[in-house]
Amino acid sequence: MAKTTVSVIKADVGSFPGHSRTHPKLLEKAAQMLKEAEGTVITDSFVTHCGDDLELIMTHTKGEDNAEIHELAWNVFMECAKIAKEMKLYGAGQDLLGDAFSGNVKGMGPGVAEMEFEERGSDPILVFMADKTEPGAWNFFLYKMFADPFNTSGLVIDPSMHEGFVFEVHDVIAKRRIYFNTPEDTYSLLAYIGAPSRYVIKGVSKKSGEIAASTSTQRLNMMAGRYVGKDDPVMVVRAQSGFPSVGEVIDPFRTPILVAGWMRGSHHGPFMPVGVCDANCTQFDGPPRVICLGFQVSDCKLIGPADMFDDPAFDRVRDKCCEISDLMRNHGPFEPHRLSLDEMEYTTLPGVEKQLKDRWEPLPE
């Protein structure tokens, strides 16, 4: 049996009203195009959205970074952007940097999380998709899933997890990477991933090398050289039998943490887990949201999805997020609601500074 690859590729190609949600016509077009590609380019697919981000979940046997798969995703985004432009949707074609496909969608705007693996006897996966935040938002949750024994009891009581995991961390500013082994390197890992705007967990694997989790790490603003929204990341996590159980993978989202993004990609706000029916950004263009779809992968087919956060067990965290949202919003344009100055470099603030630069004068001695 050939290895199975799960590719999650996403882009914001236009939304309504403003940046709140993807239009059903785009979802329909994307789903139809992927269905047509089933049996030739891909094996199976599922299309959804989180806020204004169009999410393509695909399975195939062609491996990661495959030109045919990336081209299929690119063509879907281009076709959907065309429909978005016809309807004058907001930000039509927003995340597509360029017109011509050149072999890989990385660096062209879309976010990509992929993993290739040999299917186990039973292979549950969880696909996380976020809107109004940045790739480093996953850091806290991946740490809890794979390195915190107070979250994942399997790290303590399951012999197949007891040796710990390997975290691949990318420095998205200096464009370098490093690997940390847990539990041995726990404090060193935290020294970096606690600064999620710069240090982003790209993937987690078992010490044997078997892949456990994969994220998208694209920083759109840096690639475009101008403000084009946040990167609204995706992540795939494998569960059970040597990995955290499904419940251990989703439990970290019970904790409402602050992430960067929200309005104009320039504010900190609570990361709210919601069901797909609530994956629409409203209040102050947010708050930042995350959905999770669960599947069983079976002979390269996606069995599912299950909408994991569509559950009263997550009502309490949503209520807490609303409370935190009120607290943060009370700050108006003040930090720490507004991002720190070095992060504002990638927003529209430098344009304001440019307008004011001649009005500054030296302080008197």
Instruction: Output the smallest distance, CB 110 to ligand 13P, in A.
Output: 13
Instruction: Output the smallest distance, CB 74 to Mg ion, in A.
Output: 18
DSSP assignment, residue 338?
B
Query: How far apart (Å, rounded) are the C-alpha atoms in residues 171 and 193?
Result: 10
Contact yes or no for 42/109 (Cβ under 8 A): no
**Residue with Cβ nearer ligand 13P (17 or 364):** 17
230 is a site residue for ligand 13P (CB under 6 A):
yes
Q: Of 233, 265, 287, 288, which lies in the binding site for ligand 13P, with binding defined by CB under 6 A?
A: 265
Query: How far apart (Å, rounded) are the C-alpha atoms in residues 349 and 344?
Result: 6
Is 307 flagged in the annotation as binding? Answer: no
Is 329 flagged in the annotation as binding? Answer: no
**Residue with Cβ nearer ligand 13P (116 or 232):** 232
Query: How far apart (Å, rounded) are the C-alpha atoms in residues 287 and 111?
Result: 20
Q: Which of 10, 62, 206, 230 is catalytic?
A: 230
Is 299 flagged in the annotation as binding? Answer: no
- When CB distances are held under 5 to 8 angstroms depending on the partner's kind, the choice from ligand 13P, Mg ion, none that residue 265 binds is ligand 13P
Contact yes or no for 119/67 (Cβ under 8 A): no
Is 231 flagged in the annotation as binding? Answer: yes
Instruction: Output the smallest distance, CB 317 to ligand 13P, in A.
Output: 20
The interface with ligand 13P within residues 124-153 (CB under 6 A) comprises 131-132
Instruction: Output the smallest distance, CB 23 to ligand 13P, in A.
Output: 14
* Residues 223-242, mask of contacts with Mg ion (x by CB under 5 A): ------x--x----------
**Residue with Cβ nearer ligand 13P (92 or 317):** 92
**Residue with Cβ nearer ligand 13P (287 or 304):** 287
Instruction: Output the smallest distance, CB 184 to ligand 13P, in A.
Output: 26
Please choose, from the candidates 263, 258, 265, the residue with its C-alpha nearest in 3D space to the C-alpha of residue 321.
258
Which residues does 285 contact at the CB level (< 8 Å), separation at least 6?
18, 19, 20, 132, 262, 263, 264
Pairing relationship of beta strands 289-298 and 301-307 according to DSSP bridges:
antiparallel
Query: How far apart (Å, rounded) are the C-alpha atoms in residues 344 and 225?
Result: 13
Q: Which of 10, 12, 143, 206 is catalytic?
A: 12
Query: How far apart (Å, rounded) are the C-alpha atoms in residues 64 and 239?
Result: 20
DSSP labels, 274-315: --GGG----BTTB--EEEEEEEEEETTEEEEEEETT-SGGGH
Q: What are phi and psi of 65, to 5 degrees?
A: 55, 35
Binding residues for Mg(2+): 12, 19, 52-53, 94, 131, 230-232
- Site residues (CB under 5 A) for Mg ion? 12, 19, 52-53, 91, 131, 229, 232
Q: Catalytic site residues?
A: 12, 227, 230
- Site residues (CB under 6 A) for ligand 13P? 12, 19, 51-52, 91, 131-132, 229-230, 232, 245, 247, 263-265, 285
